[in-house]
Amino acid sequence: MANQILNYGVTVGVLPFNVCQNVSDAYHKETQTHHPAIKPSELPKLIADFQNSNRDFLTKVLFKWQLLSMVRPAEAVSIEWSEIDFDKNLWFIPAEKMKKTRKGQFPHTVPLSTQMLKILESLRPITGVNKFVFPHYSQPNKSMSKETITNALRKTGYQGIQDSHGLRSIARTYLEDQAVDFRAAESCLAHRIGNETSQAYNRAEYIELRRPLMQLWGDYCESCGMDLSF
């Protein structure tokens, strides 16, 4: 409404320009779909329930990986060994694997927490010969399905309570409760903030700012009973 009024003012000559013309671009927020998610304080029970379930080994590890990494389901299952830089402790997700937005697709870099590194080191002798870190059981040249964790959560009794995508919400709520830098926290979830210029700057600037946040979240998950001794 305010934008329309200001545009009218420019049209009739009352105003020289519309000061709000680019505000929507600067503060663009992708349309959000709400997924069921528990509170961070309820995470110990979720982790215990999943670890004690009869889900198979690789599904249980994928659950931990997705929870720790804060990425979307499709990004979590499609991780390839070639995308990991063990020297810099970074995971480089190519643009074509990321969520499509109205402005396109953009690559995402994930700083690896010590918990994530433990998972990768434990899996390397098991799936390291494959392209994917989480290969499909019957078709190892493909990755596991992005629906794997949502289906497993449903079978574990969490239908309508927690789904795979909602794991990101638990992490985001936890970081918000810790009063961390807002932009760094949003960047952990690959949420786009600001216009194209600031977003390009953010991608480079916030990698190092995100490292302690990823570690903070990893430490919390481990304190909630996440078993990394497999």
Give the 3-state secondary structure of 149-167. HHHHHHHHHHCCCCCCCCH
pLDDT of residue 108: 86
pLDDT digits 0-9 by tens, 5-22: 444 343 445 544 444 444
Are residue 9 and residue 53 in the same domain, yes or no? no
pLDDT of residue 156: 98
Eight-state DSSP code of residue 216: H
**Mean pLDDT, residues 186-194:** 75
Are residue 82 and residue 131 in the same domain, yes or no? yes
pLDDT of residue 182: 86
Sign of the CA dihedral running 152, 158, 159, 163: negative
Are residue 178 and residue 77 in the same domain, yes or no? yes
Is there a contact between 167 and 66 (Cβ–Cβ < 8 Å)?
Answer: yes
Are residue 42 and residue 23 in the same domain, yes or no? no
CA angle 162–164–166, rounded 5-degree value: 60
The answer to whether residue 56 sits within a structural domain is yes
The answer to whether residue 125 sits within a structural domain is yes
Are residue 105 and residue 4 in the same domain, yes or no? no
List residues with catalytic annotation: 72, 99, 165, 168, 191, 201
One-letter identity of residue 215: Q
The answer to whether residue 45 sits within a structural domain is yes
pLDDT of residue 181: 85
Average pLDDT, the chain: 84
Are residue 103 and residue 209 in the same domain, yes or no? yes
Grade residue 26 by pLDDT with cuts at 50, 70 and 90: very low
pLDDT digits 0-9 by tens, 106-131: 778 999 999 999 999 999 999 999 99
Comparing 17-31, 135-149, 179-193, the range with the smallest average pLDDT is 17-31
Is there a contact between 185 and 84 (Cβ–Cβ < 8 Å)?
Answer: no
Length of the chain: 230
Are residue 13 and residue 76 in the same domain, yes or no? no
The answer on pLDDT for 203 being more than 80 is no
**Mean pLDDT, residues 149-161:** 97
Instruction: Tell me phi and psi for residue 132, to 5 degrees.
Output: -95, 145
| Distance separating alpha carbons of residues 133 and 92, to the nearest angstrom | 14
The answer on pLDDT for 146 being more than 90 is yes
Q: How many domains, in total, are found in the chain?
A: 2
The answer on pLDDT for 215 being more than 60 is yes
| Distance separating alpha carbons of residues 23 and 107, to the nearest angstrom | 25
Closest CA to 24 of 45, 3, 42: 3
**Token pair recorded at residue 223:** 């304190």
Domain span holding position 61: 38-223
**Mean pLDDT, residues 211-221:** 97
pLDDT of residue 21: 44
Are residue 17 and residue 106 in the same domain, yes or no? no
Eight-state DSSP code of residue 143: B
Question: CA Rg, the chain, in Å?
Answer: 20
